[in-house]
Amino acid sequence: MALEEKREKRPPVTPMMIEEEAALRNGSRGLPPGPWAEAAGPRPRTTERHIAVHKRLVLGFAVSILALLAVTMIAVLLSVRFEECGAAADGPPRAGGNGSLSGAARQPPGAEQPPGQSEEEARGGEAAEEEEEEEEEWQRRRELPPWARPRLPRHLRPLHYNLMLSAFMENFTFSGEVNVQLEVRNASRYIVLHAHRMHIEAVRVAEDKLAGGVRVARTFFYPQTQVFVVVLNRSLEVQRSYNLKIIYNALIENELLGFFRSSYVLHGERRFLGVTQFSPTHARKAFPCFDEPIYKATFKISIRHQATYLSLSNMPVETSVFEEDGWVTDHFSQTPLMSTYYLAWAVCNFTYRETVTKSGVVVRLYARPDAIRRGSGDYALNITRRLIEFYEDYFKVPYSLPKLDLLAVPKHPYAAMENWGLSVFVEQRILLDPSISSILYLLDVTMVIVHELCHQWFGDLVTPVWWEDVWLKEGFAHYFEFVGTDYLYPGWNMGAALIRMLANFMGHSVFQMGLQDYLTIHKYGNAARNDLWNTLSKALKRVGKSVNIQEVMDQWTLQMGYPVITILGNETTDNIIVISQERFVYDSDAKPKDPARGDNSYLWQIPLTIAVGNTSHISSEAIIWVSNKSEHHRIPALEEASWLLGNINQTGYFRVNYDIRNWRLLINQLTRNHEVISVSNRAGLIDDAFNLARAGYLPQNIPLEIMRYLSEEKDFLPWHAASRALYPLDKLLDRTENYNIFNEYILRQVASMYLKLGWPTNNLNKSLVQASYQHEELRREVIMLACSFGNKHCHQQAATLISDWISSNRNRIPLNVRDIVYCTGVSLMDEDVWEFIWMKFHSTTAVSEKKILLEALTCSDDRNLLNRLLNLSLNSEVVLDQDAIDVIIHVARNPHGRDLAWKFFREKWKILNARYGEALFMNSKLVSGVTEFLNTEGELRELKNFIKSYEGGAAVSFSRAVETVEANVRWQRLYKEELFQWLRKSLTQ
């Protein structure tokens, strides 16, 4: 999915009208010969008659008047007939050199304007009046004009785009010519399509069958909805097709959306590249188009560029035409039907490696030449081939294009973007060097690739109708992160996901069959959630089951949040339990988003799996459908010493709470014989208990008591769940007076396992993921907890390893714990260590190493160094734009830097919002990361005051931030002292 920015906001674009007189002077210059030029060009003037001068003054005067009238009429006719228009957005200047285009807005050399009001001003005034009159007409109809509506009018449908681009990398501009074949569904004299931040040079409209041009009355931009409007002299006729031709130019921006530029350094030389990011609504910055998912069309792309570069797009190159002046034009094959936001291209001087799947799909990975030479893309290339083969077999639908390119770029707003046939990845999420990359980094790369490849089917082949159903493609991609990774490395455990719950209660084979039907029916088209639900219901019906999937899943997809199930024993009746449901919230004082419906109105149909256990045995699971606020159910064989366990193997997308007696029985079971309960459920109990306590559903001591059994836990997942759950609790406490009490308790729980596991050596088998993965990740998790909470031996070991690196200039730190050692060393040691890490950050070319070095710099206890790093983060030459966000967030996570990052964020908000504002994902990540651990009344006031005064977007992100900080403040007020009291008592026992 899903980003998804950084440019400064520009003033609204002023709509520009047709400048007929300037067009008349320019004629049809720059247009190719043929019907376009004939339709646009002025009529030849008739031969001027020779008029003999009559001696009589009256006759002479009459003839003069007649001649003047004739000339005036010809000029008016020519003005009406000439249809070229120039409309300029408040955008980039025209490209120079090869990029310059003839346009109606440009005057010929030597042309003079009469004194007083300029021609442009006069025409602009007339056009403005026309617009006002039209606006008034629509108001009289009590309708919004088609260009002011949030979605495009439905009277036209694009069938095909022919897009020709010229990229000028020396001055970062590009020019384009787009020809759109349009089908008319309803008669209209308006063509409304998206275009943003570009200069329109010329517009033509003609019927396909060479029936001549359709006169353009005027054109204008409407910046509020980012559309360009072509007003015609007559309506387009229904069931006919027309060709819309637009010539334009724009900048290759130094930002993160549309067609933007990036750079890297090779052999001391800075090299530039241009790449696109169109999702969700940024294709309109690169070419005028119908930029909504429903408007699928075919595309024929041609890219002209200097021969020192290569160009890529969704399809393979069909032909390349070389010019004598060192330029080349690549013509790409026509695409299948697709949405604009999956269109992509790049202009770069990368190199590649390639492989081929069993079905003949050519897979290439393009990256910086030095990265390709080192083999940094080989891992990604090889698993991509295997994953395409896996998905083709699983879905029974072949990959739809002849090739798939993976493009590794230095700068990108998201981890990756699944453009059909040309997936773009930020380097850190696809390149790795086995000699210096940790297992964790490798698995992160794996899951990103698995996710993006799934989108080649869910998203590219079958596209959501509208953004409200974008979760369809993202939900499936998230689910297949685990399915696909488990295919590559069997034995992986799955994470919780809504789609996984659906697959579990349907049965995985039936679910798979339903997905195959869904993709087959809707391929190359659009689908909404009900299309999926109906297909899955039919699959169930084929195996004799009758479940209305839509009825079940609408409650999960259309309501906010997810439920918490509470299971209570009935003290008066044997074998009867009470099961209730409510919406899970961290702050029960928070008002519902919709005041008309409180939390009591939220209901889900919940497939609750449940089992009964005792000290030595657990029963097979049963499923209970919970659909009411509270229900009574009879559970056979529920004896006095038996405990209940809900959501078996964490297949459901909800949390489970129990009465205190059942929690005590479960804690006792974990202490005596934890293996009776499965690994997944042990992890689930830890995760649920910590989050339920944080939200106030459960006493604060329960999750900390559960932790005590971990000294005997040899599996990775429960430790990982504990580490992940402790993190937000640690951040709530790390600036409190009694933090050392909490710190000491955690160290006691970690100490014995830390001693058992020890530290890894640096002679790990270099095979990328091995059988010992779980063991190595367990060791890493325990070392991280030990060093984070101040285990003395852990600190000494980290300092020794750092010192050895500095003195020998050989990095012998084990790969899987390098990030932990770097961070611990920077935190404990002097400024010289910080400077050493800073130097290594600049000198390394390995992206995985660069990432953890930069994060280590944020671990310092020195506030001056943290401030220095924050200020350096805004220098794009030093820290990449997407990495600057991580710097600010990691400083905010450091208790010594939290207030510094929060202050920096507020002071630099205008710069940050200008840089990331349109990249909603990045802006949301920044706002959340800086504010998520603010937890005092003073910080809450600062946040609210800042929101009142700030300028810019991100309103939703700030609203969520307030909810989070309010929940943090509430926890501090209600539960902090309860927790410390229990900890004091526990530590003295």
Catalytic positions, written as ranges? 452
Q: Where are the beta strands (DSSP E) in 883-929?
A: none
The answer to whether the beta carbons of residues 210 and 226 sit under 8 Å apart is: no
Strands 606-613 and 156-168, bridge-based pairing = unpaired
DSSP 235: E
- Tokens, residue 286: 């690169």
Cis peptide leading into 280, omega within 30 of 0? yes
State the virtual CA torsion across 204, 206, 211, 217 in degrees, nearest 10.
-70
Total residues belonging to the chain: 989
- Contact criterion met (CB below 8 Å) for 891 and 929: no
Angle at 337 between CA 336 and CA 343, to 5 degrees: 85
| DSSP label at residue 294 | T
**Backbone torsions φ then ψ of 594, nearest 5 degrees:** -110, 100
Q: Residue 973: left (phi > 0), alpha (psi -120 to 50), or beta?
A: alpha
Q: CA-to-CA distance for 980 and 989, rounded, in angstroms?
A: 14
Other beta carbons within 10 Å of 110: 5
List the end-to-end C-alpha distance of the chain, in Å, as a whole number. 51
Beta bridge partners of 937: none
Q: What are phi and psi of 418, to 5 degrees?
A: -85, 40
CA 766 to mean position of chain CA atoms: 33
Q: How far apart are CA 389 and CA 394, in angstroms?
A: 9
Measure the CA dihedral 206/207/208/211, to 10°: -100
**Measured between alpha carbons, how far is residue 450 from residues 387, 453, 728 in Å?**
7, 5, 29
Cα–Cα distance measured from residue 241 to residue 829, given in angstroms and rounded to the nearest whole number? 72
- The CA radius of gyration of the chain, in Å to the nearest whole number, is 33
Which residues are 404's β-sheet partners?
Answer: 363
Helix, strand, coil percent content, the chain, rounded in steps of 5: 45, 20, 35
Q: What are the structure tokens assigned to 215, written together?
A: 């006169």
Cα–Cα distance measured from residue 584 to residue 562, given in angstroms and rounded to the nearest whole number: 6
Asked whether the beta carbons of 935 and 969 are under 8 A apart, the reply is: yes
Beta carbons of 162 and 179 less than 8 angstroms apart:
yes
CB–CB of 798/422 below 8 Å?
Answer: no
Instruction: Go through 793-827 and write b for each residue having 16 or more CB atoms within 10 A of its CB, e for each that does not.
Output: ebbebbbebbeebbeeeebebbbbbbbbbbbbbbb
The answer to whether the CB of 874 falls within 8 A of the CB of 914 is no
Cα 598 from Cα 629, distance rounded (Å): 13
Distance CA 125, CA 15 (A): 11
398 DSSP assignment: -
Which residue spans within 257-316 are E strands per DSSP?
258-266, 269-277, 298-306, 310-313
User: From CA 291, how far away is CA 276, in angstroms rounded?
Assistant: 14
* Chain position carrying tokens 């069909």: 318
List of residues 6+ apart from 966 with CB closer than 8 A: 587, 589, 590, 940
